[in-house]
């Protein structure tokens, strides 16, 4: 049974240019790759290599930390440098820079691959979680949170495993093509996750406009009574967000300030499930991912299988370059992606797309801000039931304590409010600023409490 979720919008999907384009490897591999050793929170791992070292494809370069998945070489070659490098989120992160020798000489597997004839029941949950940790698998829907930590924290606490195949942002088709071309990896990875969590059933949610992907997945399953169910969802953004997908598929709501496990659910992206399958059965760490390269400024929109750390400019070149001057280049989708001012930034585990958009595609967003009309559309669109207009006003006026009372930290920054705002107010920008103000105040209060 499908349920509903509050709010949401339905932007034009604009997926036709790539939804039928098969995944292709890069014809011209990157000359160098940049592999960050930390995320936006700044916590970095300790590199196991130094400048000048020779590395093999898949070699462990940095072990996992409590907030960051292990990093492996995505090409073979030489460590050119270990230095802070610009990332797609706008800041710099300590990174390993590899010069590609073009040989892709593989490293020796760090764990023993399971036979494809073996059932998941032949592996213990601990063995699977350990392989996921060693393989450096992170959430590939955008969050890039270490998958082994998510699994470990969910064991014994959840009774519902959900796989996110919604891919509801416009332009994005990387997951759609993966489900259509590698359904056995998605289903096989799902069963491995079920084994970890001691569950006998899982649900994959896919938007109903992805007919071929739904058919490919269902072809891998019995007509009735299977352990994995594929449910089609009516297209609606932000259906792929964890809390909204949980509400849609189970009817449960994640409590304010809590995690999905507190509602008895855990959600993984379908690409993450496929990566788990590859790690267990082929002993392959996560070194590549599928990226959609699209937008009206791109000459030949494609779905590319690229080494992690590949500069965005290499993906644009692989897609035929620009056919028109881009007004904006995004890493990620048009709703939640980050605008890029330097295309040397690298593909990461959470990079689902690179979009080159012309002015006509983002014309409404380029209009100057007007005064709030008090129309209430932002409140109607917010899937979290928040009041974006007041979050915007309080953030702009520095009224931080009121922001906490309005549950600003529950905002997922999906952009549905800004999309529907007729005055084109930069609501998400204000909300991000408000969150930072609240964090700073909380840190200050903790510091004063500790000093006292």
Query: Who contacts 375 (Cβ-Cβ below 8 Å, separation ≥6)?
Result: 422
**Contact call for residues 93 and 61 (beta carbons, < 8 A):** no
**Contact call for residues 154 and 268 (beta carbons, < 8 A):** no
411 is in an annotated binding site: yes
The rounded distance, in Å, linking the Cα atoms of 450 and 452 is 5
378 is in an annotated binding site: yes
Query: Who contacts 330 (Cβ-Cβ below 8 Å, separation ≥6)?
Result: 337, 338, 339, 340, 353, 354, 355, 357
Query: Who contacts 69 (Cβ-Cβ below 8 Å, separation ≥6)?
Result: 136, 137, 138, 144, 146, 147, 148, 286, 349
Most distant CA pair in the chain, distance: 65
The rounded distance, in Å, linking the Cα atoms of 62 and 329 is 30
Closest CA to 158 of 268, 2, 263, 269: 263
196 is in an annotated binding site: no
**Contact call for residues 138 and 349 (beta carbons, < 8 A):** yes
The rounded distance, in Å, linking the Cα atoms of 113 and 58 is 14
372 is in an annotated binding site: yes
38 is in an annotated binding site: no
421 is in an annotated binding site: yes
Helix (H, G, I), strand (E, B) or coil at 41: coil
Binding site residues, as ranges? 372, 375, 378, 382, 411, 414, 417, 421
Binding residues for [4Fe-4S] cluster: 372, 375, 378, 382, 411, 414, 417, 421
């Amino acid at each position: 049974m499908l349920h509903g979720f509050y709010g949401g919008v339905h932007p034009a999907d604009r997926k036709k240019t790539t939804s039928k384009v098969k995944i292709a490897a890069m014809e011209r591999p990157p000359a160098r790759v940049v592999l960050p050793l930390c995320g936006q929170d700044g916590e970095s791992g300790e590199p196991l290599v130094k400048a000048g070292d020779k590395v093999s494809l898949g070699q462990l370069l940095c072990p996992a930390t409590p907030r960051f998945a292990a990093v492996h070489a995505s090409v073979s070659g030489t460590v050119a440098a270990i230095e802070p490098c610009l990332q797609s989120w706008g800041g710099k992160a300590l990174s390993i820079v590899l010069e590609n020798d073009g040989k892709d000489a593989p490293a020796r597997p760090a764990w023993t691959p399971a036979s494809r004839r073996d059932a998941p029941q032949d592996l213990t949950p601990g063995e699977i979680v350990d392989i996921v940790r060693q393989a450096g698998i992170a959430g590939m829907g955008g969050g890039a949170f270490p998958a082994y930590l998510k699994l470990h924290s969910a064991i014994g606490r959840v009774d519902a495993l959900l796989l996110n195949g919604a891919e509801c942002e416009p332009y994005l088709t990387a997951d759609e093509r993966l489900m259509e071309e590698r359904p056995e990896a998605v289903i096989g990875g799902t069963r491995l996750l079920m084994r970890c969590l001691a569950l006998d059933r899982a649900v994959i949610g896919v938007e109903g406009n992805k007919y071929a992907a739904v058919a490919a997945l269902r072809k891998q399953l019995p007509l009735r009574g299977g352990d994995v169910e594929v449910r089609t969802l009516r297209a609606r953004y932000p259906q792929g967000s964890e809390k909204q997908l949980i509400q849609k598929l189970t009817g449960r709501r994640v409590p304010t300030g809590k995690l999905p496990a507190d509602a008895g659910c855990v959600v993984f992206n379908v690409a993450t499930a496929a990566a788990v399958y590859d790690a267990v059965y082929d002993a392959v760490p996560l070194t590549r991912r599928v990226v959609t390269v699209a937008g009206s400024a791109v000459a030949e929109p494609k779905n590319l299988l690229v080494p992690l750390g590949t500069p965005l400019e290499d993906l644009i070149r692989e897609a035929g370059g620009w056919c028109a001057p881009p007004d904006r280049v995004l890493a990620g989708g048009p709703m939640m992606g980050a605008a890029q001012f330097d295309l040397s930034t690298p593909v990461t585990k959470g990079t689902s797309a690179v979009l080159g958009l012309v002015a006509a595609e983002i014309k409404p967003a380029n209009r100057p801000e007007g005064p709030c009309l008090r129309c209430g559309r932002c409140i109607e669109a917010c899937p979290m039931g928040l009041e974006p207009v007041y979050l915007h006003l309080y953030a702009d006026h520095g009224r931080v304590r009121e922001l906490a009372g309005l549950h600003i930290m529950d905002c997922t920054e999906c952009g549905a409010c800004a999309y529907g705002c007729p005055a084109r107010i930069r609501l998400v920008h204000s909300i991000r600023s408000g969150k930072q103000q609240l964090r700073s105040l909380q840190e200050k209060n903790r510091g004063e409490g500790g000093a006292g």
